[in-house]
Amino acid sequence: MPRETPKVVRGFWVSSPEWLGFPVALDAPSPTNRNEPCKVRVPLPSLMKGAEAHRRQMAYAFWSVLNGTAPPVPHQGSSAGERLLKLEDAHACFKGVNRPVADDDHGSRMVAYVLKPEFFYKYEFLSPIVFTTREPVPIDLVFVAYVHLDKPGVCSDAIGTLTHWQFVDADPRDGFLPVDFDSRYTTRLW
């Protein structure tokens, strides 16, 4: 009996139009004035590339910490979108990352937004229909989103483009700021 050739089936989390519907920009506080709104561009090619390579956590953190929504994939829990932060909820902002970033030899065109989320969504394959769980963020972590300041592009009022985001250890002196914030960044803006 001849064997059938296996077929590759793309999972819901990759092929769903909702999953790939990343926003073009996010609202953020202005680096120069926390009370003044601005926009930052979302790195759509990076998010799409990560999704296609099955690197889910980067996008899950984007959805749940920067966009303030549960990832549009099946998840557990009835409090799906409750108490999630957005980039516009950042409580601190620093300029200059004291290291080279892409074509910026000194990281001087970077700003770092700091958030202290209570929850985030984590990739966890629990069943064929559940892909993520809502998890508490450990108290000793903060979340930092980095924006490369540049000329407006896709959004005429955008100040720059998100380049990357991550959880980092909180500073023992101030649990709402990244560890070694005084030497990690050039200037605290607010």
Q: Is residue 4 part of a domain?
A: no
Flag whether 183 is in a domain. Answer: yes
DSSP class of residue 81 equals: T
Q: Which domain holds residue 172?
A: 25-188
153-162 burial code (b ≥16 CB/10 A, e <16): eebeebbbbb
Q: What is the per-residue pLDDT for 66?
A: 95
Question: Which positions ≥6 away from 150 have C-beta within 8 Å?
Answer: 109, 160, 161
Residue 15 lies in a domain: no
Tokens encoding 150: 């540049």
Q: Please tell me the predicted confidence (pLDDT) of residue 167.
A: 97
Residue 1 lies in a domain: no
In a domain, 8, yes or no: no
Question: Which pLDDT value is given to residue 88?
Answer: 96
Q: Is residue 2 part of a domain?
A: no
* Residue 54 belongs to a domain: yes
Q: Can you give the pLDDT at residue 5? A: 39
* Closest alpha carbon to 71 in 27, 138, 119: 119
Number of domains in the chain: 1
pLDDT < 50 stretches in the chain:
1, 3-15, 17, 152-155
Which amino acid makes up residue 82? E
